[in-house]
Amino acid sequence: MEAVKKEPVIFEGFVIMPYKYSVGSMASKFFIKIRDSKVICGAKCPKCGMVNVPPRSVCPKCFSKVEELIELSGKGKLETFTIVHYESSVQALKPPYAIGVIKLDGADTSMTHFIGGVDFKDIKPGMKLEPVFKAKRDANILDIEYFQPA
Confidence band of 1 (pLDDT split at 50, 70, 90): low
pLDDT tens track for 16-31: 888 888 888 899 999 9
pLDDT tens track for 33-49: 999 999 999 999 999 99
Domain that residue 82 falls in: 24-149
pLDDT tens track for 73-127: 999 999 999 999 999 888 889 999 999 999 999 999 999 999 999 999 999 999 9
Residue 5 lies in a domain: no
- Look at residue 140 in the predicted model and tell me its pLDDT: 94
Residue 54 lies in a domain: yes
Residue 41 lies in a domain: yes
Taking CA 109 as the corner, what is the angle to CA 108 and CA 114, rounded to the nearest 5 degrees? 135
Residue 45 lies in a domain: yes
Residue 99 lies in a domain: yes
- Residue (of 131, 112, 116) closest to 37 by Cα position: 131
Dihedral sign for Cα atoms in the order 141, 143, 145, 149: negative
Residue 10 lies in a domain: no
Residue 9 lies in a domain: no
What type of residue sits at position 30? F
| Structural domains counted in the chain | 1
Query: Mapping DSSP to helix (H, G, I), strand (E, B) and coil, where does residue 52 land?
Result: strand
Measured distance CA(42)–CA(55) in Å, rounded: 5
Residue 17 lies in a domain: no
